[in-house]
Each structure stands twice: as structure tokens, then as C-alpha cells.
Amino acid sequence: MRGEKTANHHSEVRGGTGFIDELCRRFPDIPRSIIIKSDVLRNGTRFTPLLLELGKQSFPHSLIWNPDHKWNPDLRSMEKEELITVPWKYDLSDDTPVVIRFDKDSPYEIARLDGGLFLHRNGEPIEMVSFEPATEWLYKATSSGTLMMSVLMSWSRQALLACALRYCEYSKTGDQCVYCCLDSNLKEYRDRGFKYELALEPEDAAETYRAAQDEVGFIRSLAMTGGSLLNTSKEWERYVAIFEACNKVRKETGKPTQFAACMTARPDSSLMHRLRKAGLDNIAPNMDCWEESLWPEIVPGKHKFVGRDYWIESLKTSVEVFGKGNVGSVFVVGPEMAATTGFGKEEDGIASWTRCFEWLLERDIIPLTSQWETEVGSPWSNRVQPSTDYYLSVARVRNRLVEESGIRKSRSHHFYKSAAWSTDADFYRLVGGHQCDDS
């Protein structure tokens, strides 16, 4: 069947520096760091013992890592119940952040060379990397006894992410999005005895946010995401309560942290005004998939329980309430090329995304992208991804259209270090020449 995974990667991954150099020749208008990042996101990073050492000093990955985990290749000497910490991301030499998704067949690994840390591709060093030092608040507990790193995670020292709902009801009927591993991760936490609530408690979120502000001095962004509930009213109430609690801390500290949320937004302006009043600055009801014909296969829960038309109405209403530049929608680029009902040619996929981005921008909605990473525990963990060329081509089109639209003039930008899994902010910073801290 088309799209099934016969090998983790195309034969092209056998190259080292030569492969990256060839990509750079094919995409001379795209910075080398973006090209490297896109290829790493596609292929993952191979685990090595060095990451154990680095994990003790950098931001921990949000997933449980233990000897029984499918990602763990050869740590036979560890005790069965022993847990270890691995880093969430690393930064390339120009500060471009790259999330770590492990794959034992990846051509990439981190290794020491001449006293420094380098990203290697098939044994050849291609780029110096660094790891941002972790904060101390991660290992503290809230008043309720909950470990703070299970309340909020650090994308960077100044950018936080919270999973407001750690459970997706779409998985009850096997209708979860095909690229998502949320429920699989939750089971890992529960099996290991971690206190990990299904829904984030507002008091824990506010207390952890305050601890991060106190230590770092200024948290630039706090984003909320998570699973979906069939009763979207309950989902909304949870987000409102969390942002109300965190907004009190923001006002007390006087620090202008940007609050953002990705959620199943109901097209009800009164509810959106409540969320706006609670402190939310930017909203992104993430469609994830664009083509209507692909919704049943790629986002079956959204198709079955919500519907594409409902989602589009949500986006339009969001613009009415939050204003131009404050509404976006994330799309997962890649699954459309692996779907049985998807595109047979990459140029057709690129044309589809071009239509998508144009439609959104014409309505003052910012198209945001996430490059598909085949996560362990997701329904499509064994599907073949499109080429790195495809990802770069879609990203280039998106950046051009966003620049031409002028919407960035009215957008409040997010801290670029909070986008280790996407190249959107990297294009803005490195191609657009916006050398500010926010992008």
C-alpha cells in the first residue's frame, strides 16, 4: 500500500557533508542552518551515551525515557526501573533550535570533537552545536506536590509550554490524529508512577509560571496546547481558568509575557471574548490538515466530531475577536504525501499548501507549520515521509507568501527559541533579516 514504511529513510541519507552541500546548492536562497534543521527533523537524531551526560545539564525532554522505551536502543546495563534524562533540543551555531526526536536509524548524532560538541551526519561533522543550560525551577514541586516540570516544560529559558489537557477523547474510538503520540506518552508517565494529571490545574500552572519568572527574570512566552474533548465547552473552561490564574501572576510581576493557545475553538464570539479577557493574546485553532478530502484519513477525530467547516468558522470568529496578526493555525506538513488518498507527486502537495496559505492570508489568518516527525506511539510511526526537498519547498513558499502579505507588520511575534520543531521563525529571522529576539 502506498505510504507504508519499508525503511526509515530514503537512500539519500547515506551522504554526510556532501548531502548537505548538495541541498544547499539546490536551495541557494535558504540558509544552511535551516536546511540542516529540516533534514534533522525528518530523520531524527541517533541516541548516544553522550546525551545522558548532556541531559543532566540541559532542558529535559517531555517524554519518559527508560530502558523499556522503544526509542532506547542498547542501555542493557541499566536497572529496569531506572529513569534517565535526555535533552529536549540543541542549538546550531547561529542559535537555530532543533528538537531531538530519537531514531536509531538516523544518520545524525551528537559527538565531541576538539573539545566542542558537533552534529555529525554519517560520521562527518557538519555543524557545531550547544545546549542551553536548564533552570532550577524544573525540579521543584508546587504546593500540591506536583513536580513543576510536569506542569510546564521549557522550550527555552524564556519560553514555556503547557499541555492543558493531557488526554484526547478522540483516541477512545481510534480517531486520534495519525501523527500524534499524546496518549501513548501519558501511559508512559502513569506506568512509571509519576503524578501526571489528565488536566492541568490552574493553581499549579500559576505557581510554576511564577517560579520560572522569579528565576529567569522574564518569561517571553507561555503557550498552551493539549488533547481535545468531545464536549468543547469543558475544554474551553479549562483554558479560561488556566489563563485567568496565570494572568494574575503576569500582572503582579509586571512582565509582558505573551500568552498563546492552540485549542478546539468554538465559533462563539462570547466565549472567545471570555478567553481574551482571561489574558490570552494569541489564539491558534490548529486545523493540522488542509485538504477536505484528507480529513477523514489524517485527522479522523476532528473530521468526525468537529468538522472542517466548523474549524474554519472558528478561525474567522477568532480574527473578529483577537484581531489581525493575533490568529494563526498550525498545519502538519508531510502526512498528505503518505496518505493512501494523498498526493502522488510532491509538486501537487506544494501546490495544495500554496492554495492553503493564500486562502488563510487573504482572511488575516497566519499559516503556521509543523514539520511531520514520525513519533513512536503515533498511528503513523511507520509511514514514509516525503523528501527534505519537499519540506524546504513548502517552507519557502509559506515564507514568501507571508512576507508578501504584510501581515507581519501587525503580528506580535513569538520568541524564536520556542520553535525547535518548525522552521517558520527561522525563515523570519534568517531569511527576512529580522535579527531581533522575537520572531
Per-residue pLDDT of 317-329, as tens digits, reads: 999 999 999 999 9
Angle at 361 between CA 162 and CA 175, to 5 degrees: 50
**Model confidence, pTM:** 0.89
pLDDT value, residue 64: 46
Burial class (CB in 10 A: 0-12, 13-18, 19+), 397: middle
First to last CA, the chain: 41
Per-residue pLDDT reduced to its tens digit, 300-349: 988 888 899 999 999 999 999 999 999 999 999 999 999 999 999 999 99
**SS3 at position 212:** helix
Residue 377's identity, in one-letter code, is G
- pLDDT for the residue numbered 14: 57
Mean pLDDT of 105-134: 95
Closest CA to 101 of 145, 181, 41, 155: 41
Q: Taking 80 as the threshold, does the pLDDT of residue 77 lie above it?
A: no
CA distance 406 to 50: 44
Average pLDDT over residues 406-426: 82
Predicted local confidence at residue 13, as pLDDT: 47
Tell me the average pLDDT across 23-42.
97
Domains annotated on the chain, with CATH: 11-130 (no CATH), 138-431 (3.20.20.70)
